[in-house]
Amino acid sequence: MYLSELGSRLLDGFLVTLQLLGWSALFATLIGTALGAFRVSPIRPLRALGTSYVNVFRNTPLVVLFIIAVFGLPVLGIFRGNFFWLAVVALSTYTAAFVCEVVRSGVNTVDIGQAEAARSIGMGFSSSLRQVIMPQAFRAVIPPLASVYIALAKNTSVAAAFGITEATFQLSGLQRDFASRLLFNFAGIALGYILIVAVISLTASRFERRVAVSR
C-alpha cells in the first residue's frame, strides 16, 4: 500500500513539475533570446534595457520574485492567473536573465567577419542577427543552455512553498503521512529529479552532436 501511495503521489507531483519546467523553459527561452539580441544591439536604449533586466532579475532571489508574482501582481491587477501560472511568471522572468547571458555569450563566439559579410551584401542588423549570427550562436550555447534548464528544473521546487502541488510539495505530504519511511520518501524524490536532469543532459548532448555533424 505504501509503495502504491508513494508512486501515485510522486507521479502526480512530477507531472506538475514537468509542466512548470516546460512552460517556464519555453517563455524564458523566448524572453531571454530577445533580451540577448538587445544586449548586442547597436541601439543604445535596447542595450540598456537588456543590461538592466539581467542586473535586476539575476541578482534578485527567486523567492522574492515568487512573492511579487503570487501576491503582488494580482493585487496590482496586472495578472490574475491561478497559482500555477503565477509560478510560471516568476520562474520565467528569473530564468530569462540567465538565458540572455548565455545567448549573448554565444553571439560573441561568432566571428565578427560573419556580421561584416552580412552587412556587405546589404543585410540590416536584425536580418543578419536572425539569419546569420543567431543560427551559429545557438550551436555554441547548447551545453550552457542545458545547464540553465537543469537549474530551472531544480528551481521549480520553490513553488512548493506557495501551494503548488509539485514534487517537493508531495514530499512534504509523504513525510507527514509516512514519517517512518524517511529514506524511501527522499530516495523517490531524488530519483525523479535525477531522471529529469539526465533527460535534459542526454537531449542536449544528442542535439549538440547532431548539429556538429550537420555543420
Share of the chain above pLDDT 90, in %: 36
- Residue 176 pLDDT greater than 80, yes or no: no
- 3-state SS assignment for residue 164: coil
CATH class of 2-214: mainly alpha
- Domain map (residue ranges) of the chain: 2-214
CB 89 within 8 A of CB 73: yes
Would you give the end-to-end CA distance of the chain in angstroms? 53
Cα dihedral value 187, 189, 195, 196, nearest 10: -160
Query: In the predicted model, is pLDDT for residue 118 greater than 90?
Result: no
> For residue range 136-156, what is the model confidence (pLDDT) as tens digits?
778 788 889 999 999 999 999
- Per the listing, cell 532571489 goes with 61
Poorest-pLDDT segment among 100-114, 146-160, 196-210: 100-114
Distance CA 211, CA 207 (A): 6
Contacts of 86 (CB under 8 A, 6+ apart): 69, 70, 73, 74, 79, 162
Q: Residue 118 phi/psi, 5° resolution?
A: -65, -40
pLDDT in tens, 35-82: 988 888 888 899 899 999 999 999 999 999 999 988 888 888 777 768
Amino acid of residue 62: L
